[in-house]
Structure 1
């Protein structure tokens, strides 16, 4: 029986599908962005210095307000324009995900196509990250996007995907359908940094296909308050393909997070790792992970560790499924509190108790995430420090 305030339930009729402001002014240069927007975007890893990025896509509510590309080896476009420019792209839409998966996918499928298309060309290794930002500015707005990312054969690309809302929002809804294609020998690193708001509902639906020898690295980071987040992407690995799924989550008062990853190892030599760090500071985190070994000669490891700092719920659900002999998969999960001996050890070296706790929390969250640019790693460390005040 669900309660009236059950944050697992989204009533679509509570949100507006059409923006009151039909068009936001297009920004030709990132340096010309309004300061209020720039201040919000930088919190989720978006740089206004275009020289630091190979390309940028920014959508505000349902309007593309900036799209630029400084690399000859990439395409960065709104999905609607990309379908006009590349008719072949139609075969990639709703290929990895079914529009009938659930109410969220059905809602997205019935809406005009919005979102981004990013492609790295064959054999191109892009030195600087690309960046995207999906921002909700209108109160009670329902933002629905369908994103397609293709890393062509032997290419390498890193995408930093920020999502945020304006400070004045009382509530909002984000439905994000994403389909990622990592072709033979390609590497795609995808870092998501989200700052949604205390009463925002977030419903991503994601699927990834990694061809032979491909590499997919996903970093999901949510340190700030969010009303309700449900995400459980599925990744399909072919022969000798690799996936690493990292998540760093903090659930403050009233937050509800149900976050996981499913990886299906379908080709011999496939490798997968799912790593989760979660802190409950008054909210709820359901941390899922499921590795499916469908052929012999595959390896996978799942690790979920959590701390409870304030009353709430941390529910770890690690799953392993082996369908044939010759699969190697393992998992470890731990839910607990900060060890008093660690606090006393640091206090004996001159730290106050509060500083000792903060140091331990910061170390727990600061997982060494592969693929983060140095400047973004520094910002992440600062974000963790800022978040400590809310958690404690």
Structure 2
């Protein structure tokens, strides 16, 4: 595991002014947010939250069934959020959780009320605006019984910002028969260190669907979110599309604990190393029957780069059904030759194969976000690293 020295970053003194509207941001910063899936035009969002550096600068809900606020305000309003705050992540887990606990800058609190079916996505953004800033956040998401919502979280640097550290704690609570689709798009900088620490619990009949996209360079990322399926007929699904360009070190994966009968999970990861390093972990544990889980790690190495695929299956009851498929390799020459025989040159053929490998259509993303991701994939095709 690579080492991040927190003393290199400034964790105090970077408060930012509140924004009444995200269109008050510069055009360059709005473009950066869009590449992280966050739109400044809020007509197609039910609620929105923006944190810049060490301050929540914008928070607004247009739907009475969506409560959204700075976590520090939520802690005051709800008497410390005793049932939720630091209940799934250990505050003493490591120096990063301790930093977030000792010096909390903010983070979002999102509560979707029981039975509500939220039509437009809820969006949140955690942005590093200043150089060498350290950002401690703690996010709480509660989807109450029978509710449904899609949250798009974008993490980004501002235009021109290169170095910083983001330490993010996230705890998810999906209640009985509720459904959460959680889409995270990372648009960090080439000298940013990122340490998310995330966990969630899904109750009976609940669904947690996670989409994760990382196509831009980042210095050092380590994340291993864990979801526990605590109720019968609960479901977890992870889809990840990840590129590690030169200088990027990514240690990441997903973990699902199937802690009840009639549970299902799927972890699907598509990774490309084009000069960087990826450690791609996956872990499914099942202790009740019937339960069914599948883990799939597929990696491509383009030029230089390294991918470790580490799938783990842990079954402790007779009758659990767990499977995994893992592969790391290069683009098959016969695939390139097939497309070249149909009129493409070698670069065009390679680009076509990469676009297909990084296909995010299965994620069911909103059109604007899908277009932003498609634009990022196009940029990858023209980069020198490819």
Which runs of 5 or more structure 1 residues have no equivalent in the other structure? 1-6
Q: Is the 8 A contact 2:100 2:167 kept in 1?
A: yes
3-state DSSP class of the match of 1:280? Answer: strand
**Mapping for residues 366-377 of structure 1, pairs under 5 Å:** 366-377=359-370
**Mapping for residues 117-132 of structure 1, pairs under 5 Å:** 117-132=109-124
CA distance in 1, matches of 2:273, 2:257: 29
Which of residues 195, 198, 203 is equivalent to 1:211?
Answer: 203
**Aligned-CA RMSD value:** 1.3
| Cα distance change, pair 271–160 in 1 and its aligned pair in 2 (3 A) | same
Q: Is the 8 A contact 2:34 2:369 kept in 1?
A: no
Which runs of 5 or more structure 2 residues have no equivalent in the other structure? none
3-state DSSP class of the match of 1:379? Answer: helix
Q: Is the 8 A contact 1:167 1:197 kept in 2?
A: no
> For residue 18 of structure 1, what is the aligned residue in structure 2?
12
CA distance in 1, matches of 2:161, 2:22: 24
> For residue 136 of structure 1, what is the aligned residue in structure 2?
128
> For residue 330 of structure 1, what is the aligned residue in structure 2?
323
Residue 88 of structure 1 and its aligned partner are, at CA, apart by 6.5
Q: Is the 8 A contact 1:116 1:147 kept in 2?
A: yes
CA distance in 2, matches of 1:115, 1:359: 39
Residue 260 of structure 1 pairs with residue 257 of structure 2:
no
3-state DSSP class of the match of 1:275? Answer: strand
> For residue 22 of structure 2, what is the aligned residue in structure 1?
30
CA distance in 1, matches of 2:187, 2:106: 20
**Mapping for residues 186-335 of structure 1, pairs under 5 Å:** 186-238=178-230, 239-335=232-328
TM-score (norm 2): 0.97
- Of 317-326 and 364-373, more deviation after overlay is shown by 364-373
TM-score (norm 1): 0.95
Q: Is the 8 A contact 2:255 2:282 kept in 1?
A: yes
Residue 354 of structure 1 pairs with residue 369 of structure 2:
no
Q: Is the 8 A contact 1:256 1:285 kept in 2?
A: yes
Q: Is the 8 A contact 2:279 2:307 kept in 1?
A: yes
Residue 79 of structure 1 and its aligned partner are, at CA, apart by 0.4
Q: Is the 8 A contact 1:31 1:49 kept in 2?
A: yes
> For residue 76 of structure 2, what is the aligned residue in structure 1?
84
* Aligned residues between the structures: 384
**Mapping for residues 43-122 of structure 1, pairs under 5 Å:** 43-87=35-79, 89-122=81-114
3-state DSSP class of the match of 1:139? Answer: coil
CA distance in 2, matches of 1:27, 1:168: 20
Q: Is the 8 A contact 2:34 2:372 kept in 1?
A: no
